Chain A
Amino acid sequence: DTGVSQDPRHKITKRGQNVTFRCDPISEHNRLYWYRQTLGQGPEFLTYFQNEAQLEKSRLLSDRFSAERPKGSFSTLEIQRTEQGDSAMYLCASSFGLAGGETQYFGPGTRLTVL
């Protein structure tokens, strides 16, 4: 299967701990997005990379959140000093962006529970 993969699928942590999630996009895709989804709501945009450059960050992405995409391949999203309000599904999507249309393909998500 060559779709978007995310690891881990589930993470339970205690308040104040740091967590890191990984996203492996579809191999030829140059764009990578992170979204967050809470129960009963649609996904909300967090940040976006084109190749290795982080081009957009939502105001939802506080200073405790950091994302990287070294070498324009996989990406990591780190949350420092987790809070209970960080509990959510974290979704990664990738696309091959070019003029003429873009479709984002989503991974299965990482469900974070902060106790």
Chain B
Amino acid sequence: LAKTTQPISMDSYEGQEVNITCSHNNIATNDYITWYQQFPSQGPRFIIQGYKTKVTNEVASLFIPADRKSSTLSLPRVSLSDTAVYYCLVGDFNNNAGNMLTFGGGTRLMVKP
């Protein structure tokens, strides 16, 4: 699986838009980009997945440039409850075999009042 690099931590304030960028220079043609969110003492929660350009759901947007060597998770108008660790993962999630997710250290987002 392609290695990912993301900031260790970020601080923000309530109501702001937060953008977390992930680098994945060795992404393969069949690889997708997936983001998970994890609160303390809970399992990771799927946020969003994309292959190219832009994907948006009710929680976040995912921006992927044409070369796909990076991606940006955008959280609009964060609240205190968005304080969590955010993981960027890259892998071939579109195949017919099991996917052993490889998590890095994640980005610890702290939202302040």
Contacts and interface: CB of A to CB of B under 8 A. Distances in A.
Interface of A: 4, 31, 33, 35, 40-45, 48, 50, 55-56, 58, 89, 91-93, 95, 97-109, 111
A90 to B, nearest CB: 10
A58 B49 CA distance: 25
A104 B96 contact: no
A42 B103 contact: yes
Interface of B is mostly: loop
Size band of the interface chain B makes with A: 20 to 34
Contacts of A104: 46, 99, 101
Contacts of B97: 97
Nearest to B87: A42
B6 to A, nearest CB: 11
Given A48-B98, A97-B98, A41 B105 contact: yes
A33 B101 CA distance: 9
A108 B43 contact: yes
A107 B45 CA distance: 9
